[in-house]
Amino acid sequence: MEVDKKARILGEFDLFKELSTDQIRLIASYVTEKVFEPNTVFIEQETDAHIAYFIYEGSVRVYRITPEGDEISLSIIGAQEVVGEMALLDHCPRSANVESIQKTKTLALSGEEFKKILKESPEIAFNLLLILSRRVRKLSEFVEE
């Protein structure tokens, strides 16, 4: 996929809304397209984390497996949302599993490449923090219910 097309896709994400066209093109030059068929687990809980996925078509289910082996659904995430973004920041093992519900198209970004981007466009970090904050609030509300 060409950089201009990836830049158009990324421009639809809240994370990048405040960025200039040049900044979005910079990010687009680092991402690669990854497509997952339905029912594909592409992030596994407790595995090494180093890639975030920007979903631009399809949807995924985020869930955890308890020590007793039970599945706990955390959320459904769709187009113009990102999964695995914590890997860009902390490089800790994955906190949950992510499985495609339908054919899901993503743009993938590694943590190493994200660091390179932040050196050139540090305002991206602020946008990512806002998104993470919203997710924590949403998860807190879900747990309360």
Task: List all residues 6 or more positions away from 33 whose beta carbon is below 8 Å from its beta carbon.
Answer: 1, 6, 105, 106, 107, 108
Q: What are residue 60's phi and psi, to 5 degrees? A: -135, 160
Q: What pLDDT, on a 0 to 100 scale, did the predictor assign at position 15?
A: 78
Q: Strand, coil or helix: what is 49?
A: coil
Residue 135, amino acid: R
Query: Chain centroid to CA 134: how far?
Result: 14
Length of the chain measured in residues:
145
- Inter-CA distances, 27 with 30, 37, 119, 124, Å: 5, 25, 12, 10
**In tens digits, what is the pLDDT along the chain, a chain of 145 residues?**
899 999 999 999 987 877 889 889 989 999 999 999 999 999 998 888 789 999 999 999 999 999 999 999 999 999 999 998 877 777 777 889 999 999 999 999 998 898 888 887 787 777 767 776 877 787 778 777 6
Residue 39, judged by CB atoms within 10 A of its CB (0-12, 13-18, 19+), counts as exposed
pLDDT at 23: 85
Helix (H, G, I), strand (E, B) or coil at 55: strand
Task: Check: pTM over 0.85? Answer yes or no.
Answer: no
